[in-house]
Amino acid sequence: GNSVTQMEGPVTLSEEAFLTINCTYTATGYPSLFWYVQYPGEGLQLLLKATKADDKGSNKGFEATYRKETTSFHLEKGSVQVSDSAVYFCALSDSGGYNKLIFGAGTRLAVHP
Amino acid sequence: DAGVTQSPTHLIKTRGQHVTLRCSPISGHKSVSWYQQVLGQGPQFIFQYYEKEERGRGNFPDRFSARQFPNYSSELNVNALLLGDSALYLCASSSGHQDRETQYFGPGTRLLVL
């Protein structure tokens, strides 16, 4: 079945460092891909999305490109801030008849001053 | 505009009890989905409803049930609670008009089963 695999955390960075969180997926069709962020004690917030191959999603300095040839959707940010500390989830939208999201296990990011 | 709202925010129950969780979608959205997020894991799909009909169901036992009302709000019911049902329960809404569309999440209900 369809699945999402994320790099294990925690990822610990200093402020202004470059961030990459790897995400790969397995899907039989043509899913949409998403990054959601979860701050402590809160629900999920949509960070960015891409709906077809080679699309680049971007928001708040974060970027991710839908790579069909490598089945990847890696999250990047050029300069992280302490306020970016959260858990990041990669997800795909399964197109099998209804709009179900399949999530990775999440990657915790801790940014220190 | 208000986002997805959920109630209650926190709940403590004992094994064997029943619980009802509530969700109101974003205005204009007709589809509601429920997810269970166990501590340290990604959310797992439980149900999706659209126009009051069940559109999809995840791999959860029959103790889990849900329904959607004419105003598109939804309830998730869990019977005969087990310790393993302790989790954050997330509701998400979407318009329901497009395949693979974005889902918007509420803040969740944190359930603790003792």
Residue B14, classed as helix, strand or coil, is coil
Least confident window among A16-20, B1-5, B95-99: B95-99
CA–CA separation, B47 and B65 (whole Å): 8
Contact B42 A42 (CB under 8 A): no
Strands (DSSP E) contained in B25-103 are 31-37, 44-50, 53-57, 64-68, 74-78, 87-94
Listed residue (B82, B73, B104, B88) closest to B9, CA to CA: B88
Compare all CA atoms of chain A with the CA of B101 and give the residue at the minimum distance.
Answer: A99
- On whether any CB of chain A is under 8 Å from the CB of B90, the answer is yes
Write the pLDDT tens digit of every residue in A35-77. Answer: 999 998 888 999 999 999 999 999 999 999 999 999 999 999 9
Which residue from B48, B56, B107 is facing A43, i.e. has the nearest CB?
A: B107
CA-based angle B68:B70:A42, to the nearest 5? Answer: 50
Cα A56 from chain centroid (whole Å): 12
pLDDT at B98 over 80: no
